[in-house]
Amino acid sequence: MAISAGVTDPQPSGPAPQVEAVIDLDAVSHNVGVLRAHAGDAAVMVVVKADGYNHGAVEVSRAALAAGARELGVTTVAEAIELRAAGITAPVLCWLNTPDADYPAAIAADIEIGVPSVQHLRAVAAAAAGVGRPATVSIKVDTGLNRNGASPLEYPALLDELVAATRAGTVRLRAIFSHLAHADQPHSPVIDRQRDRFTAAVDAAKQRGLAPELVHLANSAATLTRPDLAFDLVRPGIAVYGLNPVPELGDFGLRPAMSLQTRVALVKRVAAGEGVSYGHEWIAPRDTVVALLPIGYADGVPRALGGRLQVLLGGVRRPNVGRICMDQLVVDLGPEHDEVAVGDTAVLFGSGAAGEPRAQDWADLLSTIHYEVVTGVRGRAVRRHRDDQAG
Ligand SMILES: *Cc1c(COP(=O)(O)O)cnc(C)c1O
């Protein structure tokens, strides 16, 4: 079973789900192509943490690797093991673990381990000694994000420990990497300062006789806007899913992969002057017809969107009226309702190709980012992967 607390994977039989997160794997392949074009000679590591940003880590990984991605990136050992358990043999890096993580399992499954401290490195080396084969590690260096990674004050000690572990044969150094704080502002001077600190950190390792096979720094935003930071490999996440991390800087031809859909559970008449949903925040201004959608905040439709949400239903956008509830919400069809019937599909967000809102539109309304919108889909939403080329 998937690690994610997000959407559910489909059951083999039974009626069609009432709420679906449909994932367009052709869009994923297309987006990997866009990113490869921007990466130049650098390889592409596709980030599939958090169950592939809630798109399905295994399915996204397979589609991305088939489209020319070289490696995969996740946070935890457990996420990496899930990819191996699905038969994926490409290089996998995991970079966010407590030192008591199941490093022996990671080493046995040939998973590369991101190491941010001496304490972590010692735990990895001890696990390698136990398993009886060297661990492959990548050193995470903090160049100014001040989140994960070895700070400049601690980095020299980490290099000392790494030299010792390499000599002892418990550890093999694969890469040195870092993460940007201002990647979505490509002209920020912070980016250049991080680049300079990063190259200095790589030089310091080389001066100790360490020889990383690769160095990498760029996430999606940097891959798209700062080709000078591609180094040997880029690490895009969000853009693989077709969501643009820098929408104000252009379109880049990305195609959103996730579409959130539900089916009309009930169509009914509401008389003028009647209030709709809890608290009667919307009063029907005229006799009208409404559709009840069996999706609510427990499924990842934020309650804060109440009265501001639109859905694509019967070929046009319709407004949500009244409060969004845990399990359901109401849309106004207007007095002329002939084109909508029970069972019809309503699209809450998607690629925008048919006129439906995008995750970006929700993010704008909510003053957040689309990362949070797509990873927030959960509850009764069942995931379905679509691959038009395969039929
Ligand atoms: C999540 C993450 C990425 C990918 O970031 P996007 O903005 O989604 O492209 C890359 N590197 C690290 C270390 C990350 O945590």
Annotated catalytic residue, options 206, 278, 297, 371: 278
Phi, psi (rounded to 5 degrees) for 71? -135, 170
- Structural domain contains residue 138: yes
Q: What is the pLDDT of residue 244?
A: 98
**CATH number of the domain within which 360 lies:** 2.40.37.10
Q: What is the pLDDT of residue 227?
A: 97
* pLDDT confidence of residue 352: 97
Q: What is the pLDDT of residue 5?
A: 61
Residue 2 has pLDDT above 60, yes or no: no
Same domain, 136 and 106: yes
Look up 268 and say whether it is catalytic. no
Beta-sheet pairing, 135-140 with 171-177? parallel
**Cα of 272 from ligand 1 centre, angstroms:** 50
> Is residue 4 domain-resident?
no
- Amino acid in position 62: R
Residue that finishes a domain, picked among 245, 273, 294: 245
pLDDT at 131 over 70: yes
Residue 3 has a pLDDT of: 53
Give the containing element (helix H, strand E) for 341: none
Q: Alpha-carbon Rg of the chain, whole angstroms?
A: 24
Answer whether residue 133 is part of any domain.
yes
pLDDT for res 8 = 77
Question: What one-character DSSP code corresponds to residue 232?
Answer: T
In this model, does residue 149 exceed pLDDT 80?
A: yes
Same-domain status, 61 and 201 = yes
Residues 6+ apart with CB under 8 A from 200: none
Same domain, residue pair 72 and 184 = yes
The CA dihedral of 260, 261, 265, 269, to the nearest 10 degrees, is 90
Q: The pTM is what?
A: 0.96
Ligand 1 atom nearest the C-alpha of 238 is 8
Same-domain check for residues 239 and 264 = no
Strand partners, 329: 293
Instruction: Dump pLDDT digits (tens) for 267-281.
Output: 999 999 999 999 999
Q: Is 303 annotated as a binding residue?
A: no
Classify residue 20: in a domain, yes or no: no
Distance separating alpha carbons of residues 239 and 377, to the nearest angstrom: 18
Claim to verify: residue 167 and residue 276 sit in the same structural domain: no
pLDDT cut 90: percent of the chain above it: 93
pLDDT over 60 at 229, yes or no: yes
CA of 255 to the centre of ligand 1 (A): 19
Residue 390 has pLDDT above 60, yes or no: no
* In contact, 58 and 82? CB cutoff 8 Å: yes
Residues 160 and 308 in one domain: no
Q: Which residue in the block uniquely carries the two structure tokens 């996440």? A: 237
Residue after which a domain boundary falls, among 245, 271, 295: 245
Nearest-angstrom CA–CA distance, 304 and 82? 34
Out of 93-107, 202-216, 257-271, 328-342, pick the least confident: 328-342
Rounded CA separation 319/327 (Å): 17
Known catalytic residue: 241?
Answer: no
Structural domains in the chain (count):
2
Whether 228 maps to a domain, the answer reads yes
Residue 24 has pLDDT above 90, yes or no: yes
Alpha-carbon span 85 to 110, nearest angstrom: 12
Residues 134 and 193 reside in one and the same domain? yes
Of residues 92, 91, 43, 94, the one with CA closest to residue 67: 43
CA-proximal residue: ligand 1, atom 6 (nearest): 237
| DSSP SS3 for 260 | strand
- Does ligand 1 lie within 6 Å of residue 47's CB atom? yes
Q: Is 236's C-beta closer than 6 angstroms to any atom of ligand 1?
A: yes
Closest of 361, 252, 357, 352 to residue 24, by C-alpha: 352
Whether 245 is in the pocket of ligand 1, judged by its Cβ within 6 Å, is yes
Is 361 found in the same domain as 217?
A: no
Domain that holds residue 363: 258-386
Range 131-154 average pLDDT: 97
The lowest-confidence range among 12-26, 54-68, 288-302, 317-331 is 12-26
Do 182 and 91 belong to one domain?
A: yes
270 lies in some domain: yes
Count of C-beta atoms within a 10 Å radius of residue 204: 16
Residues 270 and 279: their CA atoms lie apart, in Å, by: 16
Could you tell me the CATH number of the domain that includes residue 134? 3.20.20.10
Domain boundary at 245, 278, 303, which?
A: 245
* Residue 210 placed within a domain: yes
391 pLDDT band (50/70/90 cuts)? very low
Kindly state the tokens that stand for 2: 């998937």
How do residues 357-366 score in pLDDT, each as one tens digit? 999 999 999 9
Query: Which of 194, 219, 229 gets mutated to test ligand 1 (max ligand atoms within 8 A of its CB)?
Result: 219
Catalytic site residue from 49, 53, 297, 371? 49
- Can you read off the two tokens belonging to residue 232? 């040997």
Alpha-carbon span 109 to 61, nearest angstrom: 17
Residues 94 and 213 in one domain: yes
Residue 172 annotated as lining a ligand binding site: no
User: How is 284-323 classified by DSSP, letter by letter?
Assistant: -SSSEEEEEES--GGGT--GGGTTT-EEEETTEEEEEES-
Say what the pLDDT of residue 4 is.
53
Task: List pLDDT tens digits, range 48-97.
Answer: 999 999 999 999 999 999 999 999 999 999 999 999 999 999 999 999 99
Q: What is the pLDDT of residue 388?
A: 72
| Per-residue pLDDT reduced to its tens digit, 166-223 | 999 999 999 999 999 999 999 999 999 999 999 999 999 999 999 999 999 999 999 9
In a domain, 250, yes or no: no
| Residue 389, pLDDT above cutoff 70 | no
Q: How far away, in angstroms, is 235 Cα from ligand 1 center?
A: 6
Mean pLDDT of the chain: 96
3-state secondary structure of 18: coil
- How many other C-beta atoms can be found within 10 angstroms of the C-beta atom of residue 213? 13
Q: Are residues 229 and 262 in the same domain?
A: no
Model confidence at 16, pLDDT cuts 50, 70, 90, reads confident
Mean pLDDT, range 326-353, rounded to an integer: 94
Instruction: State the CB neighbour count (10 A cutoff) for residue 282.
Output: 21
Does residue 202 contact residue 176 with C-beta atoms inside 8 Å?
Answer: yes
pLDDT at 1: 40
Same domain (yes/no): 352, 219: no
